[in-house]
Structure 1
Amino acid sequence: MLKNVAAVVMNGVNPFELGVICEVFGIDRSDEGLPVYDFAVASAEGPVLQTHAGFTLRTEHGLERLEEADLIAVPAAESRGSRDYPPALLDALRRAVDRGARVLSVCSGVFVLGSAGLLDDRRCAVHWRHADELARSFPLADVQPDVLYVDEGSVVTSAGTAAGIDACLHIIRAEHGPQVANKIARRMVVPPHRDGGQAQFVERPVSPARVDSVADVLAWMEHHLDEEQTVEQLASRALMSPRTFARRFQQETGTTPYRWLLRQRVLMAQELLETSDETVDAVAGRVGFGTAAGLRHHFLRTLGTTPNAYRRTFRGPLSAA
């Protein structure tokens, strides 16, 4: 049973990510019958630290505090992969996992876990902006760029900033059940469980073809998302055979025409749901999915959420359903 929690910080710690951990595990809510944890903030680099926001932080605990913790949380800090983390901290994290404790990272705190070797052969999450860097830094890690958090038993990793709340509440839910997690979420005025993953927060990419052979066709496809598009039709427009066109398309975009088209349709639907008051049916028609059911199907597969839930998140409850 989870009773003892420690957040371990270094110079450059991000105050919000640390605050998330303190808010979930460090507040006495016994007046509502909620669990109380033996919580402390421990420093890996001296009693006084500089935060990423420019103010200092003082804590009386050092790394010895980690030895008794059931959960060790590592919040994000600046200089993700460009610094050498204290060897004593990495040793303490490895020992914790070996003795059955859990470790949790919030956002780029996952780089500390990677440096300790705790991501090897494990799925892990990080802010989508850092996913490529994490994969390069730790090639044995299975980086999941589209999720809010990943629970691999002894190692829990979360994506950027507020996704740390999701991961912390997930741990509470697993330890004490949904009622406890829901009560804490209500006190924090946050949803107890968010739909979808961080794929829905990724900026719409601009991906021009590396050569000109399919560039014109890509532009045409993007401006005719509401029309039926087959490989044969697209190949004819590119003055190629279907086989040659499919091969060139894969080489230059990294995916198939069908998958590229689906992704562009979902991206355009996201934009319309955010910026217009059109109904979901109307949006589905404009982007080529035909019906609201078709749009919902592809939204769920791509983003892990529904069009209505996505619109509520990004537009609020006053937009059209």
Structure 2
Amino acid sequence: MITETKKGKVEPKIIKPVKTRLSLKSKQSWTGILFISPWIIGFLAFFAYPLYRTVFMSFHNVSFGLKTGWRYKWVGMENYQRIMFEETDFVVAAQNFFVQTLLYVPVIIALSIIIAVLLNQKIKGKIIFRLLFFLPVIILSGKLMENMDTYGGMSLTANEFILESLYMIIPSKDVVLLITSLFELIVQLLWFSAVPILIFLASLQKISKEIYEAASIDGASPWSSFWKITLPMVYPLVSVCVIYVVVFLANFETNPINSIIMQSKYDGSRREGYASALSILYSLVQLAVIAILYYSTHSRSTKGR
């Protein structure tokens, strides 16, 4: 830009570019968006359309013909009414899942924290013990898990040798069945604890040993250090583990609700529309369980702060 002075001399005027700086809050917001952008892209590319199709078919009677292809007949809330008030197999299974999950998840979280603390100690063969607790996630999945459940691989009552040995020690059959049932339940809960154990173990390894040393110098016992140092440090991860465990239990191969949904898909009186409505209701049940457990654990963590 050229400007003219009072003496008649023409002098160029340099315009400096204006630098725009983002605030710290804006930078943090954009950083968070960049971190979750892969999830957003994956949701839009692989999840959004199937979710829309599931909701769409849940309000229709769906049929398929070789000549006509897919046909949709609008029925409104008829599929949901059949599920809730007429054919109650899903309602009973959903109630059992709801109560069972509310009881199982706190026990699984408690076991995971205790085992993670034990595995974090200086013991010989620590890597082998960690592998043993994570091994069920690797091998006990899919058809292998279904076959083990079908042929008694997950039940002590299917093993006659063990039962006979227990009967020799404990004559009462009711007591033996109670012991075997409790043992099977504990083993099953330990299988579900594999991934939470690794999450809590990773959190424990980040706690500085100097904190424990300072606490011991001040006279704190190991029990006090656990409640005052260890548990508050790992507690923020409880909510993450709660979500994982609920989703894992809901999609477990032996969960009867998944079988009901798959069988309804190929049932001539139900078909895809009925199965889609089942999936939507099952998702709402899972969200309700997650909301209850997440709020209870999250509220405690915020109060502790």
TM-score range, shorter chain: under 0.3
- The structure with more helix, counted as a fraction of residues: 2
- The structure with more strand, counted as a fraction of residues: 1
Q: Report the TM-score when normalising by structure 2.
A: 0.26
Greater gyration radius: 2
Structure scoring higher RCO (CA < 8 A, sep ≥ 6) equals 2
